[in-house]
A = this chain, B = another copy of it.
Amino acid sequence: MIVKKTEQPRRKPTAAKRGRVGSLRSIGVIRSGLKTRKEAPKQGAEGAPEAWLEVRAFAGPALDGLAEGDDIIVLTWLHQARRDVLKVHPRGDKSNPLTGVFATRSPDRPNPVGLHRVTVRQIGKNRLLISPIEAIDGTPVVDIKPVLSGVADF
């Protein structure tokens, strides 16, 4: 039995919390030799390694149609990021002026979703070998999308 304490005023939700729109579910996880944020490059193109993207069993059928050599976009949940940061010194360099996080690729932001353009190197049962990927070991994956056409920098 749970007794609701009506005597206590409920804590007023913060502005950020009031706008909840949905829950992300892990569809997989990154298995990488990178174990900490400190050792990870800031972007994939800055010397990031390859890693396995292990897809959870329920989501395996959603991989059908992907092939080795495909360029894909992986969306991750940057689980070690801070969500209360609105401005940063870009690249963690204090000599760069404070900048809004929406004008940077800082992992610290209201919704820490990571965006990684990678190539599929190998396909196994419910897993993809991808590179280059700067996400650290254990990072949850929330979506995979094909690159639509051409060569993209982002």
* Interface residue ranges, A against B (CB under 8 Å): 1-4, 14-17, 19-27, 43, 56-59, 61-66, 70, 72-73, 75, 77, 79, 86-87, 98-105, 109-113, 115, 117, 140, 142-154
Contacts and interface: CB of A to CB of B under 8 A. Distances in A.
Nearest to A58: B15
A132 to B, nearest CB: 13
How many copies the complex holds: the figure is: 2
17 contacts: A1-B2, A15-B57, A16-B59, A19-B27, A19-B56, A20-B25, A21-B25, A21-B79, A22-B23, A22-B77, A59-B110, A61-B86, A62-B102, A65-B103, A111-B143, A117-B154, A152-B153
Q: Which 8 A-B pairs have the closest CB atoms?
A: A65-B103, A152-B152, A19-B26, A150-B153, A64-B100, A102-B144, A65-B99, A15-B58
Contacts of A65: 99-100, 102-104
Given A16-B25, A27-B110, A142-B111, A62 B75 contact: no
